[in-house]
A and B are shown apart, each in its own frame.
Chain A
Amino acid sequence: FSCSSSGVKPAVATGLVGTVQQQDIMKWNGWGYADSKFFFNKKGQGEFTGKRYRLSGLILPSLKDWFEGTFGANLQHKSPPSLNTSAVAPPSLNEAFVEELKSTGIPFSHDTEDRVFRAHGHCLHEIFSLRDGRVGRCPDMVVWPNCHNDVVKIVELACKHSVCLIPYGGGTSVSSALECPPEETRSIVSLDTSQMNRILWIDEKNLTAHVEAGIIGQDLERLLNESGYCTGHEPDSMEFSSLGGWVATRASGMKKNIYGNIEDLVVHIKMVTPRGVIEKSCQGPRMSTGPDIHHFILGSEGTLGVVTEVTLKIRPIPEYQKYGSVVFPNFQQGVACLREVAKQRCAPASIRLMDNEQFQFGHALKPQVSSIFTSFLDGLKKFYITKFKGFDPHHLCVATLLFEGDREKVLQHEKLVYDIAAKFGGLAAGEDNGQRGYMLTFVIAYLRDLGMEYYVIGESFETSVPWDRWVLDLCRNVKERIVRECKEKGVQFPPLSTCRVTQTYDAGACVYFYFAFNYRGLSDPVHVYEQVEHAAREEILANGGSLSHHHGVGKLRKEWMQETISSVGLGMLKSVKDYLDPNNIFGNRNLL
């Protein structure tokens, strides 16, 4: 991935900020970089613009057929966005707060564009409304603290003047967490952490790095790489999401099998709350000092305060990386193989299993082949798998693998995993397929924007679920429930309802669903979408899945919290909130 332009300091002009980096190179009403998007060219072929991704600038000949075939969509039927930003209500400012803030010199803005940009995450309904030019309650102003002490000052002022603060990191939330509560009467201030993006120190003896929490994932990795290190924490959103956001939502990285999830990586956290600053006094690798206070912070979703600085474990950059893939005759066999790999605790850095629909979807994004030879080779491979090995192209599924470490160990490891896969009927399917699988992760969000141009809306959601047969049964039942609910709600064409297993654990797995449908003929597509997603979530819970593996709860999944953690559990969390923030300064109303 290429990097974003960063480090342009906002210029302070009469208390306002002129430019702020991310916002300028990103879409305001869709996913990701403004220069990167899918579109159908005049010949009806799919293309991906820009220069940032492997797919950028390439022609995708199968995309149209897949798109039309899967959704019953038609390239003639466009649903272009109506651009209308004048619908934003003027800011309601707390004058006393603004006055005192000015005296601190911390940059802030109440420019409409700045406010709208921070009024949403990337839930379907949020983006859909934006495309329609509809904007709900927005933050009334944005502040850009530059360091921990700036945050302390802002929080003090907010408490003093009764202002509602909503921390903002990378803006990649998919749980309605950034939505401003419409019932909030106080002035809402979006606290943008993007200027707190420095690595403060690296400790090579202990292999830790102390980093400001506003840093964006890819910048963190790039800067550490310069010193020969990495965190290895790579959530799918790492191009845009921030360290503080990971902590606040209990993020999970693709390579957690080697590096762990965010809760395993964190050694020390500093958080500013209305009650004061919370942090531990030492960096001992493990403590028996009562319940770990980090666990009140991890997953608090901006309801308790702002995470300002984090000490993370770091690792030397791995010597060698190798992608891989395995084709299985069906999803069952694939899951059985992943289970065995988890049982033997020999999972590579990443192992993911796509179901058949996703496998086909992956094929739709295959770029035009460069030579007759490649196309001949592809044909041969297909022949070998389907005819010679007898795999049914409508049942086979693919696991993608990523190995990391020193070269020799990687090769050993690779052999071990392929040997296990072979026991479950898996055939090695090459590095390229593996790499494409991971690339897909980064571009799939862009694809939703393309769909929205042609009456197709969709979203992803995730869960974690125990092994045995829950994984299989849950996947089947949830997919089926989605198909049925769509039919009942009047969706004309069968939806795309597909899943993949993205993480394995000793006792279960993380399952990720994609769901999209053609909404032509529906008067309120977003409502239908929400009803179906709601039903799907109920189905997940009924089948033993969790409320969330790494997306978090936000406001979208709040209604199930009590059921999930019991009313006593909810009471515990509430009492912590009451102690830290009795006046609900951090009033985004997530989680509780």
Chain B
Amino acid sequence: PRSTWSRKVRSKRDDFEDILEERRNSSDLRYAFKCYTPVLYRGLTPCKAATLKSMVLQSEQLLHVINQVSAESGESTDVVKDEAAAILEEMAHRLQLRTIRFFAYTLSKAFKALYRSVCVNEEGIQRLQQAMQEHPVVLLPSHRSYMDFLMMSYILYTYDLSLPVIAAGMDFLGMKFVGEMLRMSGAFFIRRSFGGDQLYWAVFSEYVKTMLRKGYAPIEFFLEGTRSRTCKSLTPKLGLLNIVMEPFFKGEVFDVNLVPVSMSYERVLEESLYARELLGVPKPKESTSGLLKARKILSEDYGSMHVYFSPPVSVRSLAQGRINRSQFNLTPRHVAQKPSEETQAFVNDVAYRIVRLQQENMVVKPWVLVATLLLQSVEGMELTELMEQTSWLRDLARMFGAFLDWPDHTPCSMVVSSSISLHRNLACVSGSRISLVVEGPQGPETPEEALFNRAVSVLSCASYRNQVLHVFLRPALLAMALSNANSSRKEDIYSCFDFLRNVFSDEFILSPGASVQDFDEACHLLVKCGAVELLHQDVVMAESGRTVLSFLTLLLEPFLQGYQVVCRYLREEATENLTEKQFIPAVRSFAVKLHLSGSLKCYEVLSSDLQKNALNALIRLNVVRRVRTLKS
């Protein structure tokens, strides 16, 4: 049912409305001081942020854990209570309308400077408004940029919807002033890791659940956990999702609505920063001065941005027939229970489903197609050829269900050249040829420097290609399986497909256990575009299928090569006691060595993201073993 369900979604998408248009025509100040009266959750008795805190601190759930911790540690409950209060103090948001109005004003200015347009599907907003009255709502946006949560709150304010409370990483608190500003605009802060800290977990989960149960405000968090540096969706994290679903499992609320939000940027603010980070230049620590320096970006053109609010997904209907809620009946509700395997698998499935919904409604810009093609000819190509191929790829992408933002009634050449000009930092046209821009110092550079600069360009470009990977992923895995399988028999091809899918399931969003559906979907699409034919027990390439299949194979080639390099490194150079910390730099220098000797042409293997994913895959497949050693 999953595949038919996703196809149904694809068949109809809402229209967009540019919310900046009005900002350009009327006073920002008036907008910031407009009358803001959002529709509230019907069961809500409004309360202050401070009341919320004391509710959490007095909750049975938390008191239970406080008593436990106190019994275990021998400290008095008052001490533990104070500790809990301190954790909550550090964590809790202090949402206030004043700050929101301040942001509404400044962000209007900033967004108008940065973006040509910010397009929102208004039908999605209407559905959201409806849902917010009926049930507690959890907003689950994709995460590509710092802009994401500012933009989310900005949009909700614009449409007079309840402002969300947002789970943010503690690192923002490092930025004096800004951290507190974010707190006052609804952010609450959680530590990146608090593995064994029972008290922290209890405070945190009770805080979130209290807000959810009360319908205090929509809760917003990023399923991917962090900004995706590659613009590829990241494997979802389950912690918070577990927390927000629990009140439904335990019958404390009738339902919880999850709303996937796809935020697509024509140009990501952080694009080259990300590429450098992936190549091992450390991520700049969040600091206020850093933010101020970033002001120069205000003078650049970041094109348009699209925000798509998918229809709310009811946890109740997803859980129908999968979760036996009476399993929670035999323990008092304030006693935390470890989720059963059944529940964990369910939450995991929901997480994947949401990420796929985010992907499906992510708007694909023409430049994404251009970048995809450019990466397949790194040495550059004829402009006319590019135009032709782009137009071909556009049709293919459409056929595969991509949500393309392609202007009507404009010749392909115009579309391509205007998107090249927006991304002139990445691609340049000289004469009749187009190639990647490689920034470098004026004057001589070492071979390592040259390699690094080139890699920055390629990875920046790849971050655009990655935005369309979800469209081609399944057919591409099939294309790869077709060229690697022992025969054209369907079982052989499927087992090869399944193997590849398994290898790459840390790299791409591939729901666990959906191999057969994915295979069927891939077959369906490749048959639809005429690339393969299904004959009885065989899957064979069609006469006209070569172009499509080789494009698809090339699309995944960098990943395949990257994984191969990681394997080669592990086989040839790795020693018994390689630590995880050493692994990434070691693989990187191994790859650099191969590059400089001319035996490797692929740049993406230099990306720490790919290296981590490859390692995780190898660990998962029991090829590599993780051993804990005691710290000396």
Contact = CB atoms under 8 A, between A and B. Distances in A.
Given A542-B251, A563-B326, 11 more contacts: A468-B332, A468-B333, A470-B251, A473-B252, A476-B254, A477-B251, A481-B254, A541-B326, A542-B326, A544-B251, A544-B329
A283 B547 CA distance: 93
A543 B332 contact: no
A480 interface: yes
A16 B74 CA distance: 82
Interface centre among A476, A480, A542 (most CB of B within 10 A): A542
Contacts of A409: none
A52 interface: no
Given A541-B326, A543-B325, A544-B326, A473 B251 contact: yes
A487 interface: no
Contacts of A476: 254
Tell me whether chain B's interface is mostly helix, strand or loop, or mixed. Answer: loop
B247 to A, nearest CB: 9
Interface string A473-512: 1101100110000000000000000000000000000000
A51 interface: no
A469 interface: yes
A474 B251 contact: yes
A547 to B, nearest CB: 11
A546 B360 CA distance: 43
Interface string B239-282: 00000000000011010000000000000000000000000000
Counting chain B residues whose Cβ lies within 8 A of the other chain, the interface size class is: 10 to 19
A469 B333 contact: yes
Interface of A: 468-470, 473-474, 476-477, 480-481, 541-544, 563
Closest 8 CB pairs of A and B: A542-B325, A544-B329, A543-B251, A480-B254, A473-B251, A477-B254, A541-B326, A542-B326
Contacts of A563: 326
Contacts of A468: 332-333
Nearest to B319: A542
Nearest to A483: B254
Contacts of B333: 468-470
A469 B329 contact: no
A463 B325 CA distance: 17
Interface in B218-255: 251-252, 254
Contact of A469 (B252, B254, B326): B252
Nearest to B248: A477
A474 B324 CA distance: 16
Contacts of A469: 252, 333
20 contacts: A468-B333, A469-B252, A469-B333, A470-B251, A473-B251, A473-B252, A474-B251, A476-B254, A477-B251, A477-B254, A541-B326, A542-B251, A542-B324, A542-B325, A542-B326, A543-B251, A544-B326, A544-B328, A544-B329, A563-B326
Nearest to A479: B254
Interface centre among B251, B326, B333 (most CB of A within 10 A): B251
Contacts of B332: 468
Interface in B407-442: none
B277 to A, nearest CB: 46
A477 B251 CA distance: 7
Interface in B314-344: 324-326, 328-329, 332-333
A419 to B, nearest CB: 25
A474 B254 CA distance: 9
A541 B252 CA distance: 14
A21 B328 CA distance: 50
A331 B577 CA distance: 64
Contacts of A477: 251, 254
A474 B325 CA distance: 12
A469 B328 CA distance: 13
B92 to A, nearest CB: 23
Contacts of A542: 251, 324-326
A468 B329 CA distance: 12
Contacts of A481: 254
Contacts of A474: 251
A236 to B, nearest CB: 27
Contacts of B251: 470, 473-474, 477, 542-544
Contacts of A480: 254
A470 B328 CA distance: 11
Nearest to A474: B251
A348 B285 CA distance: 67
Interface in B69-87: none
B263 to A, nearest CB: 32
Contacts of B329: 544
Contacts of B328: 544
A477 B247 CA distance: 12
A541 B251 CA distance: 11
Contacts of B252: 469, 473
Nearest to B251: A543
A543 B332 CA distance: 12
A65 to B, nearest CB: 25
A143 to B, nearest CB: 43
Nearest to B255: A480
Nearest to B247: A473
A517 to B, nearest CB: 19
B337 to A, nearest CB: 14
